[in-house]
Amino acid sequence: MPAMSTSRPQFSWHDWNQWHVGVLPLLLIFGALVLYLFAAQRVGNWSTNRMVAFLSGLIVTFIATQSVIGVFDMEYFSDHMIQHLLLIMVAAPLFALSAPLDLAYDAGSPRLRHFLDGRFMTTITQPLFGFAAYFVFIPVTHLTGLFNLMMEHEWVHHLEQIGFLVVGYLFFRVAFGLERGTTIHRGLRLVFVMAAVPVDTFTGLALSMSSHTPFPAYAAMAPRGSTTAGILSNIHLGGAIMWIGGDALMLLACIPIAIAWVKWETVHTRELDAILDAQGI
């Protein structure tokens, strides 16, 4: 009778069902939820849709960092890119839709309102700052030695994850234009988002076309038995995820922006027609 094979598949259910639960991330996520709900209760009439958006953003953040994605994000570059897209292009837009700065302004003390109206916050919430932050952050964190540093130090890795959320929020708060402060025309918001697409495309293509492993630390962090060719192939896959997935999510974000623009133009066209009719023009 032939012996039964005891070898495991590359990815079994046990692999996919792993969790990377950490005390500090859980405390940060729970603390953010408590603060948001407390502020919403203090305001009294805060939008339910915005609360749902914030809760959804926290759930996506938890999945991206504490699920199986967080288990393998230091071993597989492709997994890291999935985590990156979930944080900066899914969780961050949801946080932007929840309007946390507006909530802080409405529920905060006069001192907090003074800070939010101050030069520092006015600067970082400017549309050009949000665009520049996104335009610089993506290639710097994936095409420079900073990525290798992140692989070698866990605290740098956590700062990078927070950076994805902050930069993504600053970018998409301008794209959605829901919060107070400097905004751009609804039609220009589409241009704003589309102008950032080449950043993801360039970064993804640069990684997909790399002829060598750009991150030496992956040789030490990759699963046992990984070859140089295998590591490079996974980096190429991660670049493709960045390129195709990033562009697709950006285009998806354009849909609600375009719908809001059309609705706004329709309402204002009717108002203008009414004014002209009243004047007999």
Q: Where are the domains of the chain?
A: 22-270
pTM of the model: 0.87
Cα angle 58-134-69, degrees, rounded to a multiple of 5: 40
Show the 3-state SS of 208-273.
HCCCCCCCCHHHHHCCCCCCHHHHHHHHHHHHHHHHHHHHHHHHHHHHHHHHHHHHHHHHHHHHHH
Nearest to 158 by CA among 91, 213, 94, 83: 83
Q: How far apart are CA 121 and CA 36, in angstroms?
A: 19
pLDDT attached to residue 5: 38
If you average pLDDT over every residue of the chain, what do you get? Answer: 86
| 232 vs 4: which has the higher pLDDT | 232
Residue 281 confidence class, pLDDT cut points 50, 70, 90: low
**In Å, what is the CA distance from 256 to each residue of 10, 99, 176?**
40, 16, 9
pLDDT score of 17: 62
Question: What is the average per-residue pLDDT within 2-18?
Answer: 48
pLDDT digits (tens, 9 = 90+) for 190-236: 999 999 999 999 999 999 998 888 888 877 787 877 788 888 898 99
Q: Is residue 270 over pLDDT 50? A: yes
Instruction: Indicate the angle between helix axes 186-194 and 246-278, nearest 10 degrees.
Output: 160
Closest CA to 102 of 169, 19, 14, 188: 169
Tell me: the pLDDT tens digits for 174-183? 999 889 888 8
* pLDDT, tens digit (0-9, with 9 covering 90-100), for 34-85: 999 999 999 989 999 999 999 999 999 999 999 888 888 888 888 999 999 9
